[in-house]
Amino acid sequence: MFVGHYSVSFVAKRIAPEVPLWILFVAAQIVDIFWAIFIATGIEQVRIVPGFTASNPLDLHFMPFTHSLPASLLWAIGLAAITAALLPSCRNRRAMLVVAVVVMSHWLLDLLVHVPDLPLWGNEHKVGFGLWNHFAVALLLETALLLAGAFWLCADSNQAKHRKRLIILTAVLLLVHAGNLIGPPPQSVTHLAISAFAAYVIFGLWAWFAQRSN
Ligand SMILES: [Zn+2]
């Protein structure tokens, strides 16, 4: 899953308004941010195989440090602790729990769409329900999730002054996702890593911009 992960960030923002939206954007994708770094540096591995799934060409055969269940738990605990350490406003149980749950939600949403490539332990016992092989279903699910999350946050009266920016952010996420689906497969793993990393950074910055006070 790609932009659909941000649906959880939107919902989480309403539950724990003290956590900045950009932190929740980073939380939703922290394992993919490090996945991009790890595939670029060879710590994890991916093969680009056109037609590997109906939705994308990624054979994600080795990603135990980012996408295994125990690794996800560690990323969740780690990011919640770092957030609390850096931001005094997030030094409470609700904020830390929300950040951790948003990190963990990445694994659960990936579980729906990935073919069995998510390790339950190490690089073994891989799971994935494979919705990526049902192009229309995967696309509809991801779009519906994102729109529902964005709608939920926009309906919050505290967000009245940010509503227009949130709608633009959501539209940009959907456009980038559509471009990904209809565009050619990445030329190389390095290209894939750089474009994924850049997208996550830009989306995080955009989330920060969408919630600025002026
Ligand atoms: Zn992922």
Ligand 1 centroid from CA 201, angstroms: 15
Question: In this structure, what token pair is assigned to residue 45?
Answer: 């591995």
What DSSP string runs through 82-127?
Answer: HHHHH-GGG-SHHHHHHHHHHHHHHHHHHHHHS-S-EEEETTEEEE
β-strand partners of 119: 126
Ligand 1 centroid from CA 214, angstroms: 33
Ligand 1 centroid from CA 9, angstroms: 15
Residue 214: band (very low, low, confident or very high) from pLDDT cuts 50, 70, 90? low
Ligand 1 centroid from CA 213, angstroms: 31
Supply φ then ψ for residue 183, to 5 degrees: -75, 170
Ligand 1 centroid from CA 32, angstroms: 5
Question: In this structure, what token pair is assigned to residue 157?
Answer: 């009266």
Residue 197: band (very low, low, confident or very high) from pLDDT cuts 50, 70, 90? very high
**Residue 168 amino acid letter:** I
H or E segment and range at residue 59: strand 58-62
Ligand 1 centroid from CA 106, angstroms: 6
- pLDDT digit string, tens, across residues 126-153: 999 999 999 999 999 999 999 999 999 9
Cα(103)–Cα(77) distance, rounded to whole angstroms? 9
Protein residues with C-beta less than 5 angstroms from the ion ligand 1: 32, 110
Ligand 1 centroid from CA 120, angstroms: 14
- pLDDT digit string, tens, across residues 72-99: 999 999 999 999 999 999 999 999 999 9
Query: Does pLDDT of 43 surpass 70?
Result: yes
Planar angle of CA 71, 77, 81, nearest 5 degrees: 140
Question: In this structure, what token pair is assigned to residue 22?
Answer: 């950009």
Cα(17)–Cα(60) distance, rounded to whole angstroms? 35
Decide if 44 contacts 38 (C-beta within 8 A).
yes
pLDDT of residue 154: 94
Ligand 1 centroid from CA 113, angstroms: 10
Ligand 1 centroid from CA 211, angstroms: 25
Cα(53)–Cα(135) distance, rounded to whole angstroms? 9
- Return the closest-CA partner of residue 46 out of 193, 176, 200: 193
H or E segment and range at residue 46: strand 45-48
pLDDT of residue 157: 85
What predicted TM-score, i.e. pTM, was given to this entire model?
0.95
Decide if 31 contacts 107 (C-beta within 8 A).
yes
